[in-house]
Chain A
Amino acid sequence: MSQWLHWGSVGCLTLLAACGTEGPPEVQAPPTLAPIVQQRLADLAAAPTAAPAPTPETLELTEGLLQTRVHGGQFKDMAFDDLSAMGKDAILPLAQWARDTSVDVALRQAAVELLGVLAQEPDGAGASERLLGLATHARESWLRAHAAWRLGGSHSDHMVPRLVLRLKYEGDPEAFLWVASSLARNGCLAGLSGLIDLASRADERGARAQGEIAWIEKELGDTSAKLLRRWNTSEASALPLAPPSDAQLFEVWSLVKDLSGDTFALRPVDDARYILSQLAPWCAREVALALLDQDAYVRLHVAQVLERMGGRARETEGNLIRVLAEPGVAPAAAEALGSVGSPACLVPLLAASQESQPHELRVAAVRGLGDLGLAEALAPIQSMFIELGAPGPTPLHDLRMACAKALVQLNAGDDAIAWLLVHLQQGSSSSDAEPLVEQWLIGGARDSRLGFPAALKEWQALADPPGSIPGADRARRRRDGRAEKLLGRLDALLGT
């Protein structure tokens, strides 16, 4: 029954839209903008990470105690207690010894161990900060790994966003393991899929990863596979993850500030987008407020962050729908709605794809409808795909390509395949068409459609060898070859 109602509503919307194009639709006022980022940063406070500068005496004392801790036999524990008792005075000397490549590794490891102990204190943000510096910037991978491991016991979650960035760049598997583990112990499962990969290894590292996964499963009460699935969907909101401290929120809003037009370089912007998109659902709710910030760059990039969060950002769909009225951010919001993915996004996206809307928004809305994957979008997209085949005053090729992609995603690629094969042989759009044709073949083979497994095999046989990098000529030959083979089979595949 509900399906029929959905269809009815979509039909009504299409009918209303089709009938309502006689005059220009009423222009709606865009939402009110405000200095949201500035206000949130003013409301929050950074973690108190300052530590007293080391004097020559404290440096000497620390080294002596570290030496005793490493080599002192029965006095080891006493040295440990004395170093712990130094509290904040020990933080910078310990960090300095940990980085010092001229002293032996055991002493440096002891320094990291002590920083880890200090980081567990209620006021341990300063020690966490130094461990974070080592985990993210030390040149030696063992040091990054040890520092990340110790961060797992830290009580200062302000380091989570910057530790997330390490996931993007960490090339050493051992360091990656402990970064991922520490993040999980601080309410962020961004490294869980990597941990699962590492756990499949039949070596000591695999065993360590399995141990960390066991801890995560026990804490969160589910298997790692299910946790990973939940983390990547709207179910992430139900995971028993610790809420962020104000210090972590301050870090998050500092990253949102990095998205602004005041930041010229794209790299820090992309890093900020990456970090924010990897955090827990609370981050989506928080940064969605910035969709109404007065900085156009912030609004757009926050929509991109929510798109990348996918289902984890589902609670923000209301925020995204509201900003469809703001032309600068509307296309990014439309794509985000498709990724965030609830049935409530269907009607706004269908409306945004109507002919009366700006081309940029229509393309994004159709992409969003494809990503949303609801069958109710099929008929309107099929109609649009057909209508766009007629000659028009301006080229709307990319809109038709977005429709073709959506049709493939909605398991209706048969409608678009002949057009896609034409474009597979045309330079300007062949690289867009090729993955769609492949997706169509994979879908048909998965559904055991007649002739598809063989056609897919033939298609894949023309792929470039693994590890090779095709030049333009080779890529063209590959696409031409694939198009030629598939055209020969097309009638049979379509049953025509």
Chain B
Amino acid sequence: MKKLAGIAVLATAIWFMVELVPPEWNPDPVSATPAQWTSSNQCKACHEEAFSEWEDSWHAKSWIDEDVRLQSDNFENKVCIDCHAPRGVFETGVGNRVLPRSSRRSEGVDCLACHLLPDGGVAGTIDMPSAPCKPKATIELSRVAFCAGCHDQHKTVTQWRGTPMADTGPDCLDCHMPFRDGDPNRGRHHGMAGGHDLSLVQSAVTLEAIRAEGQIEVTVENIMGAHSFPTDERSRAADIFWRPLPTDPEQRDGWTHLHRIRDPYRTEVDITSTLLHALASQDKTGDSPRRTIAFTPPSGPIEVALFYKLAPYYRGSDGSVWKTEDVTDPLMDSRLVHRVEVP
């Protein structure tokens, strides 16, 4: 009986080899050497501080953030995957366009995306052969080109290269990955502060409003000027609203929309880009980092405010979507950057 079973198995195996496997099929197609570093979670034990900073960062949320999910149609818009779950920058080459991963996508832009070397080793700021990951000092980690694969897709790095800061600094890391507590010995903060960091946004732009010849002139300026404001993500926007100065300082509504600062998506052909450009912008439009908008409000003191938005739409707490011109309480879905009063 055992003999018969053995013959049956053998016959089936032979049939499988002959019939099912196409002639060109190679039964063992890929090198089986397992990579040592396969998840950013492996970095946590030794690099607790950096891991914790990254874990709270928007790099870590690039795959799971609700707005990203929505705007990418749950990543059915597959072009988004390339930057939201990229292969290692060193694998595709510093300064080159990134390519998408097939695995570990929920880790987003993770430790391995920046630190994993093509040979399976780990890039760091110093050589440390005694450490488990044996980091190799790799100067490219601190270069502007390192960020470009993703962040120049909307010309942020190109904008910076057109400014005097390309010669003098600051560069990407100076603003977005500063030393912890300003101390170079403590290493750089892995939170990668950007548009989600209100203080950084506040330091990038100013808002002024004056009364002149019966009108109110509102001036907004990209004073940091290292790149346009907002930049990189076309889902970002900044809105200027005004309202009569309320008697109750806690009052939230009563605002009227005045101006939107935003770069449209390709499909929004009826919208013009209104970004505040970088300093010494090479942009062919010659647009300046400073813009003044004049309007005539009813008499009486008013206040004008600049709000920053992480998504181009306004939504209420129930998820309902508002047209920008209908919004009277911008704080429903934005953050107050600056506010000025005009007597």
B68-88: contact bitstring with A at CB < 8 Å (1 yes, 0 no)? 011000100011001100000
The reply to whether A364 and B31 contact each other, CB–CB distance below 8 Å, is no
Q: Which of B16, B79, B153, B319 contacts A9 (CB 8 A)?
A: B16
Also in contact, A432 and B97, with CB within 8 A (given A9-B20, A344-B22): no
Which of the 9-residue segments B33-41, B132-140, B253-261, B289-297 touches chain A?
B33-41
Considering the complex, give the chain B residue whose CB is closest to the CB of A356: B32
Q: Which of B21, B69, B266, B319 contacts A468 (CB 8 A)?
A: B319
Residue A474 is within 8 A (CB to CB) of chain B in the complex: yes
A338-363: contact bitstring with B at CB < 8 Å (1 yes, 0 no)? 00000010111001100011111111
Considering the complex, give the chain A residue whose CB is closest to the CB of B320: A468
Is the contact region of chain B dominated by helix, strand, or loop, or is it mixed? loop
Which of the 9-residue segments A25-33, A71-79, A203-211, A278-286 touches chain B?
A25-33
The reply to whether A469 and B313 contact each other, CB–CB distance below 8 Å, is yes
Q: Which of A26, A304, A359 contacts B103 (CB 8 A)?
A: A359
The reply to whether B103 and A363 contact each other, CB–CB distance below 8 Å, is yes
The reply to whether B66 and A475 contact each other, CB–CB distance below 8 Å, is yes
Considering the complex, give the chain B residue whose CB is closest to the CB of A13: B16
Name the B residues within 8 Å of A470 (CB-CB).
66, 70, 315, 319
Also in contact, A327 and B31, with CB within 8 A (given A265-B153, A360-B101): yes
Name the A residues within 8 Å of B28 (CB-CB).
25-26, 28, 351, 356
A285-304: contact bitstring with B at CB < 8 Å (1 yes, 0 no)? 00000000000110010001
The reply to whether B35 and A169 contact each other, CB–CB distance below 8 Å, is no
Considering the complex, give the chain A residue whose CB is closest to the CB of B16: A9
Which of the 9-residue segments A242-250, A391-399, A408-416, A480-488 touches chain B?
A391-399
Min Cβ gap A491→B in Å is 29
Name the A residues within 8 Å of B97 (CB-CB).
261, 263-266, 269, 297
Complex alpha-carbon distance, A470 and B71, angstroms: 12
Min Cβ gap B268→A in Å is 10
Complex alpha-carbon distance, A269 and B103, angstroms: 22
Name the B residues within 8 Å of A8 (CB-CB).
9, 12, 15-16
The reply to whether B15 and A351 contact each other, CB–CB distance below 8 Å, is no
Residue B99 is within 8 A (CB to CB) of chain A in the complex: yes
Name the B residues within 8 Å of A267 (CB-CB).
79, 153, 266
Q: Which of A390-436 contact B (CB under 8 A)?
A: 394-395, 397-399, 427-432, 435
The reply to whether B29 and A324 contact each other, CB–CB distance below 8 Å, is yes
Residue B30 is within 8 A (CB to CB) of chain A in the complex: yes
Complex alpha-carbon distance, A430 and B27, angstroms: 36
The reply to whether B30 and A304 contact each other, CB–CB distance below 8 Å, is no
Q: Which of A261, A346, A431 contacts B69 (CB 8 A)?
A: A431
Q: Which of A25, A296, A435, A464 contacts B74 (CB 8 A)?
A: A435
Q: Which of B21, B106, B333 contacts A347 (CB 8 A)?
A: B21
Complex alpha-carbon distance, A467 and B320, angstroms: 7
Residue A495 is within 8 A (CB to CB) of chain B in the complex: no
The reply to whether B25 and A321 contact each other, CB–CB distance below 8 Å, is yes
Complex alpha-carbon distance, A325 and B13, angstroms: 23
The reply to whether B315 and A431 contact each other, CB–CB distance below 8 Å, is no
Complex alpha-carbon distance, A296 and B67, angstroms: 31
Considering the complex, give the chain B residue whose CB is closest to the CB of A361: B30
Residue B321 is within 8 A (CB to CB) of chain A in the complex: yes
Q: Which of A28, A270, A467, A471 contacts B79 (CB 8 A)?
A: A270
Considering the complex, give the chain B residue whose CB is closest to the CB of A474: B319
Name the A residues within 8 Å of B15 (CB-CB).
5, 8-9
Q: How large is the interface on A (under 10, 10 to 19, 20 to 34, 35 or more residues)?
A: 35 or more
Complex alpha-carbon distance, A472 and B311, angstroms: 12
Name the A residues within 8 Å of B16 (CB-CB).
8-9, 12-13, 347
Name the B residues within 8 Å of A367 (CB-CB).
102
Min Cβ gap B138→A in Å is 21
Q: Which of B10-64 contact A (CB under 8 A)?
A: 12-13, 15-16, 19-22, 24-35, 38-39, 41-42, 64
Which of the 9-residue segments A53-61, A109-117, A178-186, A328-336 touches chain B?
A328-336
Residue B317 is within 8 A (CB to CB) of chain A in the complex: yes
Considering the complex, give the chain A residue whose CB is closest to the CB of B27: A351
Min Cβ gap A295→B in Å is 12
B87-106: contact bitstring with A at CB < 8 Å (1 yes, 0 no)? 00000110011010111111
Min Cβ gap A435→B in Å is 7
Name the B residues within 8 Å of A13 (CB-CB).
16
Q: In the complex, which of the residues B311, B315, B333 has the most CB atoms of chain A within 10 Å of its own CB atom?
A: B315
Residue A318 is within 8 A (CB to CB) of chain B in the complex: yes
Residue B197 is within 8 A (CB to CB) of chain A in the complex: no
Residue A122 is within 8 A (CB to CB) of chain B in the complex: no
The reply to whether A398 and B104 contact each other, CB–CB distance below 8 Å, is yes
The reply to whether B12 and A472 contact each other, CB–CB distance below 8 Å, is no
Min Cβ gap A481→B in Å is 14
Q: Which of A344, A398, A465 contacts B320 (CB 8 A)?
A: A465
Min Cβ gap A349→B in Å is 11
Residue A24 is within 8 A (CB to CB) of chain B in the complex: yes
A153-187: contact bitstring with B at CB < 8 Å (1 yes, 0 no)? 00000000000000001010000000000000000
Residue B318 is within 8 A (CB to CB) of chain A in the complex: yes
The reply to whether A169 and B267 contact each other, CB–CB distance below 8 Å, is yes
Also in contact, A300 and B99, with CB within 8 A (given A468-B321, A469-B313): yes
Q: Which of A431-447 contact B (CB under 8 A)?
A: 431-432, 435
Residue B233 is within 8 A (CB to CB) of chain A in the complex: no
Q: Which of A6, A24, A321, A469 contacts B33 (CB 8 A)?
A: A24
Q: Which of A169, A346, A351, A397 contacts B106 (CB 8 A)?
A: A397
Min Cβ gap A363→B in Å is 4
Name the A residues within 8 Å of B83 (CB-CB).
266
Name the A residues within 8 Å of B64 (CB-CB).
427-431
Min Cβ gap B47→A in Å is 16
Which 7 A-B pairs rank lowest in CB-CB distance, beginning with the nearest? A468-B319, A9-B16, A331-B102, A270-B79, A8-B12, A363-B103, A325-B29
Can you list 15 A-B pairs, Cβ within 8 angstroms, ordered by A?
A5-B12, A9-B13, A169-B269, A171-B267, A261-B93, A327-B31, A330-B29, A348-B29, A351-B27, A352-B30, A358-B32, A361-B102, A468-B319, A469-B319, A471-B66
Given A321-B25, A472-B67, 11 other A-B residues pairs in contact with their CB atoms under 8 A: A9-B13, A12-B13, A27-B32, A269-B97, A331-B103, A360-B102, A364-B103, A395-B39, A468-B320, A469-B70, A471-B317
